[in-house]
Structure 1
Amino acid sequence: MRKKRQQTPAEELANAITHGIGLGLAIAALVILVVYANLRGDIWHLAGFAIFGVTLITLYLASTIYHSFPDGKWKKTLRIIDHASIFLLIAGTYTPVTLTAMRGPWGWTIFGIVWAIALLGILLKIFFMNKLKYLSLILYIAMGWLIVIAIRPLIESVGTTSLIFLVAGGLFYTLGTIFYAWK
Protein backbone atom coordinates (compact mmCIF):
# COMPACT_ATOMS: atom_id res chain seq x y z
CA MET A 1 0.00 0.00 0.00
CA ARG A 2 1.17 3.47 -0.83
CA LYS A 3 1.74 6.22 1.71
CA LYS A 4 -1.56 7.90 2.59
CA ARG A 5 -2.17 11.03 0.53
CA GLN A 6 -3.20 14.06 2.55
CA GLN A 7 -6.83 15.01 1.93
CA THR A 8 -7.56 18.59 0.93
CA PRO A 9 -9.90 20.63 3.15
CA ALA A 10 -12.58 20.40 0.45
CA GLU A 11 -12.23 16.60 0.31
CA GLU A 12 -12.45 16.36 4.09
CA LEU A 13 -15.56 18.55 4.09
CA ALA A 14 -17.14 16.38 1.39
CA ASN A 15 -16.24 13.26 3.38
CA ALA A 16 -17.72 14.72 6.57
CA ILE A 17 -20.94 15.75 4.80
CA THR A 18 -21.46 12.45 2.97
CA HIS A 19 -20.67 10.39 6.05
CA GLY A 20 -22.95 12.65 8.09
CA ILE A 21 -25.74 11.88 5.61
CA GLY A 22 -24.87 8.20 6.01
CA LEU A 23 -25.15 8.66 9.78
CA GLY A 24 -28.64 10.09 9.42
CA LEU A 25 -29.68 7.21 7.18
CA ALA A 26 -28.13 4.70 9.61
CA ILE A 27 -30.16 6.16 12.47
CA ALA A 28 -33.32 5.91 10.37
CA ALA A 29 -32.43 2.33 9.42
CA LEU A 30 -31.92 1.37 13.06
CA VAL A 31 -35.35 2.71 13.98
CA ILE A 32 -37.03 0.90 11.07
CA LEU A 33 -35.22 -2.38 11.77
CA VAL A 34 -35.98 -2.32 15.49
CA VAL A 35 -39.66 -1.52 14.90
CA TYR A 36 -39.89 -4.24 12.24
CA ALA A 37 -38.14 -6.78 14.50
CA ASN A 38 -40.42 -5.87 17.37
CA LEU A 39 -43.55 -6.32 15.24
CA ARG A 40 -42.58 -9.42 13.26
CA GLY A 41 -39.64 -11.10 14.94
CA ASP A 42 -38.48 -12.39 18.27
CA ILE A 43 -35.81 -11.26 20.72
CA TRP A 44 -33.08 -12.61 18.42
CA HIS A 45 -34.31 -10.47 15.53
CA LEU A 46 -34.46 -7.47 17.81
CA ALA A 47 -30.94 -8.08 19.16
CA GLY A 48 -29.46 -8.83 15.73
CA PHE A 49 -30.95 -5.79 14.03
CA ALA A 50 -30.13 -3.53 16.99
CA ILE A 51 -26.48 -4.65 16.98
CA PHE A 52 -26.27 -4.16 13.21
CA GLY A 53 -27.83 -0.71 13.47
CA VAL A 54 -25.61 0.38 16.33
CA THR A 55 -22.44 -0.75 14.51
CA LEU A 56 -23.60 1.05 11.35
CA ILE A 57 -24.20 4.23 13.36
CA THR A 58 -20.82 3.79 15.08
CA LEU A 59 -19.03 3.58 11.74
CA TYR A 60 -20.69 6.66 10.26
CA LEU A 61 -20.40 8.67 13.47
CA ALA A 62 -16.70 7.84 13.83
CA SER A 63 -16.07 8.65 10.18
CA THR A 64 -18.03 11.91 10.27
CA ILE A 65 -16.17 13.10 13.36
CA TYR A 66 -12.80 11.98 11.98
CA HIS A 67 -13.27 13.86 8.71
CA SER A 68 -14.55 16.95 10.57
CA PHE A 69 -11.36 17.46 12.61
CA PRO A 70 -8.25 19.26 11.37
CA ASP A 71 -4.90 17.50 11.37
CA GLY A 72 -3.28 17.01 14.74
CA LYS A 73 -3.20 14.71 17.75
CA TRP A 74 -6.97 14.24 17.88
CA LYS A 75 -7.12 13.44 14.17
CA LYS A 76 -4.73 10.51 14.67
CA THR A 77 -6.82 9.14 17.54
CA LEU A 78 -10.04 9.61 15.57
CA ARG A 79 -8.49 7.77 12.61
CA ILE A 80 -7.85 4.75 14.83
CA ILE A 81 -11.47 4.81 16.00
CA ASP A 82 -12.68 5.28 12.41
CA HIS A 83 -10.70 2.29 11.17
CA ALA A 84 -11.57 0.14 14.19
CA SER A 85 -15.25 0.77 13.54
CA ILE A 86 -14.91 -1.04 10.20
CA PHE A 87 -14.26 -4.24 12.12
CA LEU A 88 -17.31 -3.56 14.29
CA LEU A 89 -19.54 -3.06 11.27
CA ILE A 90 -18.36 -6.24 9.55
CA ALA A 91 -19.16 -8.24 12.69
CA GLY A 92 -22.38 -6.28 13.13
CA THR A 93 -23.42 -7.16 9.59
CA TYR A 94 -23.05 -10.87 10.33
CA THR A 95 -25.00 -10.63 13.57
CA PRO A 96 -28.61 -10.59 12.28
CA VAL A 97 -27.93 -13.55 9.98
CA THR A 98 -26.14 -15.60 12.63
CA LEU A 99 -28.66 -14.85 15.39
CA THR A 100 -31.79 -15.35 13.30
CA ALA A 101 -31.53 -17.37 10.09
CA MET A 102 -28.64 -19.61 11.15
CA ARG A 103 -29.13 -19.43 14.94
CA GLY A 104 -28.01 -23.02 15.67
CA PRO A 105 -24.46 -24.32 16.14
CA TRP A 106 -23.24 -22.89 12.83
CA GLY A 107 -24.77 -19.51 13.55
CA TRP A 108 -23.21 -19.27 16.99
CA THR A 109 -19.85 -20.51 15.68
CA ILE A 110 -19.71 -17.91 12.91
CA PHE A 111 -20.94 -15.25 15.36
CA GLY A 112 -18.14 -16.08 17.81
CA ILE A 113 -15.41 -16.27 15.18
CA VAL A 114 -16.36 -13.04 13.44
CA TRP A 115 -16.60 -11.08 16.70
CA ALA A 116 -13.25 -12.54 17.86
CA ILE A 117 -11.63 -11.42 14.60
CA ALA A 118 -13.26 -8.00 15.03
CA LEU A 119 -11.72 -7.69 18.49
CA LEU A 120 -8.34 -8.76 17.10
CA GLY A 121 -8.67 -6.19 14.31
CA ILE A 122 -9.58 -3.42 16.75
CA LEU A 123 -6.54 -4.24 18.88
CA LEU A 124 -4.43 -4.28 15.72
CA LYS A 125 -5.66 -0.77 14.86
CA ILE A 126 -5.11 0.54 18.38
CA PHE A 127 -1.55 -0.73 18.73
CA PHE A 128 -0.30 -0.94 15.13
CA MET A 129 -2.36 1.59 13.16
CA ASN A 130 0.29 2.55 10.62
CA LYS A 131 2.01 -0.81 10.55
CA LEU A 132 0.73 -4.19 9.36
CA LYS A 133 -1.71 -2.56 6.92
CA TYR A 134 -1.83 -5.69 4.79
CA LEU A 135 -2.84 -7.72 7.83
CA SER A 136 -5.83 -5.41 8.32
CA LEU A 137 -6.78 -5.92 4.69
CA ILE A 138 -6.46 -9.69 5.04
CA LEU A 139 -8.65 -9.61 8.15
CA TYR A 140 -11.27 -7.48 6.36
CA ILE A 141 -11.43 -9.97 3.48
CA ALA A 142 -11.33 -13.03 5.76
CA MET A 143 -14.18 -11.66 7.84
CA GLY A 144 -16.19 -10.84 4.74
CA TRP A 145 -15.90 -14.33 3.30
CA LEU A 146 -15.91 -16.31 6.56
CA ILE A 147 -19.49 -17.38 5.88
CA VAL A 148 -18.23 -19.64 3.07
CA ILE A 149 -17.19 -22.23 5.68
CA ALA A 150 -20.88 -22.55 6.54
CA ILE A 151 -22.28 -22.20 3.03
CA ARG A 152 -24.54 -25.25 3.22
CA PRO A 153 -26.19 -24.21 6.51
CA LEU A 154 -26.49 -20.68 5.11
CA ILE A 155 -28.21 -21.92 1.95
CA GLU A 156 -30.56 -24.02 4.07
CA SER A 157 -31.31 -21.03 6.33
CA VAL A 158 -32.00 -18.18 3.91
CA GLY A 159 -34.05 -17.90 0.76
CA THR A 160 -32.67 -17.54 -2.74
CA THR A 161 -33.23 -13.78 -2.81
CA SER A 162 -31.34 -13.30 0.45
CA LEU A 163 -28.53 -15.52 -0.79
CA ILE A 164 -28.24 -13.51 -4.01
CA PHE A 165 -28.04 -10.28 -2.00
CA LEU A 166 -25.41 -11.78 0.32
CA VAL A 167 -23.25 -12.94 -2.59
CA ALA A 168 -23.63 -9.62 -4.42
CA GLY A 169 -22.77 -7.76 -1.22
CA GLY A 170 -19.72 -9.96 -0.74
CA LEU A 171 -18.52 -9.28 -4.27
CA PHE A 172 -18.99 -5.52 -3.94
CA TYR A 173 -17.34 -5.63 -0.53
CA THR A 174 -14.32 -7.44 -2.00
CA LEU A 175 -14.17 -4.92 -4.84
CA GLY A 176 -14.13 -2.19 -2.19
CA THR A 177 -11.08 -3.73 -0.53
CA ILE A 178 -9.20 -3.24 -3.80
CA PHE A 179 -9.87 0.49 -3.58
CA TYR A 180 -8.90 0.44 0.09
CA ALA A 181 -5.57 -1.21 -0.78
CA TRP A 182 -5.07 1.14 -3.72
CA LYS A 183 -5.37 4.30 -1.63
Structure 2
Amino acid sequence: MTRALVFSLLNTDNDVMAKVKVKTKKKIPEQSLGKKIVKVLVNYFTTQFILMIIVGFAAWGILVWFKVQYAILLAILIAILSVIPHFGMALGSITAAIVAIFDKVVFVNNAPAIVEGILLLLALFVLNKIVDFLLAPIFLGAANKVNPLIIFFAVILGTLTFGLVGAILAVPVTLVAITVWQHFYK
Protein backbone atom coordinates (compact mmCIF):
# COMPACT_ATOMS: atom_id res chain seq x y z
CA MET A 1 0.00 0.00 0.00
CA THR A 2 2.85 2.38 0.77
CA ARG A 3 4.32 1.72 -2.68
CA ALA A 4 1.04 2.61 -4.29
CA LEU A 5 0.79 5.86 -2.33
CA VAL A 6 4.38 6.85 -3.17
CA PHE A 7 3.84 5.93 -6.82
CA SER A 8 0.66 7.97 -7.04
CA LEU A 9 2.33 10.97 -5.39
CA LEU A 10 5.24 10.76 -7.80
CA ASN A 11 3.03 10.41 -10.86
CA THR A 12 0.66 13.24 -10.05
CA ASP A 13 1.42 16.84 -10.67
CA ASN A 14 3.40 18.65 -8.09
CA ASP A 15 0.15 20.27 -6.95
CA VAL A 16 -0.02 18.09 -3.87
CA MET A 17 3.55 18.83 -2.88
CA ALA A 18 3.06 22.53 -3.61
CA LYS A 19 -0.02 22.57 -1.39
CA VAL A 20 1.88 20.79 1.37
CA LYS A 21 4.70 23.33 1.12
CA VAL A 22 2.28 26.26 1.18
CA LYS A 23 0.48 24.88 4.24
CA THR A 24 3.70 24.24 6.14
CA LYS A 25 5.38 27.58 5.43
CA LYS A 26 5.86 29.66 8.51
CA LYS A 27 3.68 32.74 8.35
CA ILE A 28 5.11 35.91 9.84
CA PRO A 29 2.33 37.84 11.48
CA GLU A 30 2.05 41.45 10.38
CA GLN A 31 2.70 43.97 13.09
CA SER A 32 -0.46 45.74 14.23
CA LEU A 33 -0.99 49.41 13.54
CA GLY A 34 -1.00 50.23 17.25
CA LYS A 35 2.42 48.63 17.74
CA LYS A 36 3.81 50.53 14.76
CA ILE A 37 2.51 53.83 16.13
CA VAL A 38 3.95 53.11 19.57
CA LYS A 39 7.31 52.24 17.99
CA VAL A 40 7.37 55.49 16.00
CA LEU A 41 6.47 57.56 19.05
CA VAL A 42 9.09 55.82 21.20
CA ASN A 43 11.68 56.56 18.49
CA TYR A 44 10.54 60.19 18.44
CA PHE A 45 10.78 60.70 22.20
CA THR A 46 14.11 58.87 22.40
CA THR A 47 15.53 61.09 19.66
CA GLN A 48 14.14 64.20 21.37
CA PHE A 49 15.88 63.14 24.59
CA ILE A 50 19.19 62.66 22.73
CA LEU A 51 18.78 66.10 21.14
CA MET A 52 18.08 67.59 24.58
CA ILE A 53 21.34 66.15 25.88
CA ILE A 54 23.28 67.49 22.88
CA VAL A 55 21.70 70.94 23.26
CA GLY A 56 22.36 70.93 27.00
CA PHE A 57 26.05 70.17 26.61
CA ALA A 58 26.47 72.65 23.75
CA ALA A 59 24.66 75.40 25.66
CA TRP A 60 26.69 74.61 28.78
CA GLY A 61 29.90 74.93 26.75
CA ILE A 62 28.82 78.30 25.37
CA LEU A 63 27.74 79.56 28.79
CA VAL A 64 30.99 78.44 30.42
CA TRP A 65 32.98 80.07 27.61
CA PHE A 66 31.12 83.32 28.28
CA LYS A 67 31.74 82.83 32.04
CA VAL A 68 28.05 83.08 32.90
CA GLN A 69 27.11 82.25 36.48
CA TYR A 70 24.72 79.34 36.96
CA ALA A 71 25.81 77.92 33.60
CA ILE A 72 24.67 74.38 34.41
CA LEU A 73 21.18 75.49 35.50
CA LEU A 74 20.76 77.71 32.47
CA ALA A 75 21.98 74.91 30.18
CA ILE A 76 19.43 72.51 31.70
CA LEU A 77 16.71 75.13 31.18
CA ILE A 78 17.74 75.63 27.55
CA ALA A 79 17.86 71.85 26.99
CA ILE A 80 14.38 71.30 28.42
CA LEU A 81 12.92 74.20 26.46
CA SER A 82 14.59 72.95 23.26
CA VAL A 83 11.73 70.45 22.92
CA ILE A 84 9.64 73.37 21.66
CA PRO A 85 10.90 73.99 18.10
CA HIS A 86 12.04 77.53 17.29
CA PHE A 87 10.59 79.16 20.45
CA GLY A 88 11.95 77.05 23.31
CA MET A 89 15.65 77.67 22.95
CA ALA A 90 14.94 81.34 22.28
CA LEU A 91 13.22 81.66 25.67
CA GLY A 92 16.11 79.91 27.41
CA SER A 93 18.65 81.99 25.51
CA ILE A 94 16.98 85.25 26.50
CA THR A 95 17.00 84.14 30.13
CA ALA A 96 20.71 83.27 29.89
CA ALA A 97 21.47 86.64 28.26
CA ILE A 98 19.67 88.49 31.06
CA VAL A 99 21.65 86.56 33.67
CA ALA A 100 24.87 87.32 31.75
CA ILE A 101 24.08 91.03 31.71
CA PHE A 102 23.52 91.20 35.46
CA ASP A 103 26.19 88.77 36.72
CA LYS A 104 29.03 91.34 36.49
CA VAL A 105 31.53 88.86 35.04
CA VAL A 106 33.64 90.36 32.26
CA PHE A 107 34.13 88.22 29.18
CA VAL A 108 35.20 90.88 26.68
CA ASN A 109 37.71 93.40 28.06
CA ASN A 110 36.23 96.84 28.69
CA ALA A 111 32.93 95.93 27.03
CA PRO A 112 29.64 96.92 28.61
CA ALA A 113 27.55 94.10 30.04
CA ILE A 114 24.88 94.62 27.41
CA VAL A 115 27.41 93.82 24.66
CA GLU A 116 28.33 90.58 26.39
CA GLY A 117 24.65 89.71 26.72
CA ILE A 118 24.10 90.36 23.02
CA LEU A 119 27.15 88.26 22.06
CA LEU A 120 25.88 85.40 24.23
CA LEU A 121 22.43 85.73 22.71
CA LEU A 122 23.97 85.61 19.24
CA ALA A 123 25.98 82.46 20.06
CA LEU A 124 22.92 80.72 21.49
CA PHE A 125 20.86 81.87 18.49
CA VAL A 126 23.35 80.17 16.16
CA LEU A 127 23.10 77.00 18.27
CA ASN A 128 19.30 77.24 18.10
CA LYS A 129 19.28 77.45 14.31
CA ILE A 130 21.77 74.59 13.94
CA VAL A 131 19.57 72.39 16.11
CA ASP A 132 16.22 73.43 14.60
CA PHE A 133 17.20 73.40 10.94
CA LEU A 134 19.94 70.78 10.79
CA LEU A 135 20.24 68.36 13.70
CA ALA A 136 16.57 67.83 14.60
CA PRO A 137 15.35 67.01 11.06
CA ILE A 138 18.33 64.73 10.41
CA PHE A 139 18.10 62.85 13.73
CA LEU A 140 14.30 62.56 13.74
CA GLY A 141 14.23 61.58 10.07
CA ALA A 142 16.91 58.93 10.49
CA ALA A 143 15.33 57.45 13.62
CA ASN A 144 11.96 57.07 11.92
CA LYS A 145 13.11 56.51 8.32
CA VAL A 146 11.50 59.74 7.10
CA ASN A 147 13.04 62.34 4.82
CA PRO A 148 14.40 65.23 6.95
CA LEU A 149 12.67 67.73 4.65
CA ILE A 150 9.30 66.26 5.65
CA ILE A 151 10.19 66.85 9.30
CA PHE A 152 11.38 70.38 8.52
CA PHE A 153 8.23 71.34 6.60
CA ALA A 154 5.97 69.65 9.15
CA VAL A 155 7.37 71.88 11.90
CA ILE A 156 7.00 74.99 9.77
CA LEU A 157 3.45 74.10 8.70
CA GLY A 158 2.46 73.15 12.25
CA THR A 159 3.86 76.42 13.59
CA LEU A 160 2.13 78.53 10.96
CA THR A 161 -1.24 76.86 11.36
CA PHE A 162 -1.48 76.15 15.09
CA GLY A 163 1.26 78.28 16.65
CA LEU A 164 3.15 76.95 19.66
CA VAL A 165 0.98 73.84 20.04
CA GLY A 166 1.41 73.10 16.34
CA ALA A 167 5.18 73.43 16.65
CA ILE A 168 5.26 70.94 19.53
CA LEU A 169 2.87 68.40 17.97
CA ALA A 170 3.89 68.74 14.31
CA VAL A 171 6.50 65.99 14.20
CA PRO A 172 4.67 63.31 16.24
CA VAL A 173 1.43 63.89 14.30
CA THR A 174 3.30 63.72 11.00
CA LEU A 175 5.08 60.51 12.01
CA VAL A 176 1.80 58.88 13.09
CA ALA A 177 0.12 59.98 9.84
CA ILE A 178 2.96 58.50 7.77
CA THR A 179 2.78 55.26 9.77
CA VAL A 180 -0.98 54.96 9.24
CA TRP A 181 -0.56 55.72 5.53
CA GLN A 182 2.15 53.08 5.13
CA HIS A 183 0.13 50.51 7.07
CA PHE A 184 -2.92 50.78 4.83
CA TYR A 185 -1.34 51.58 1.47
CA LYS A 186 1.81 49.51 1.41
Alignment TM-score, normalising by the size of structure 1 = 0.35
Alignment TM-score, normalising by the size of structure 2 = 0.35
- Rg larger for: 2
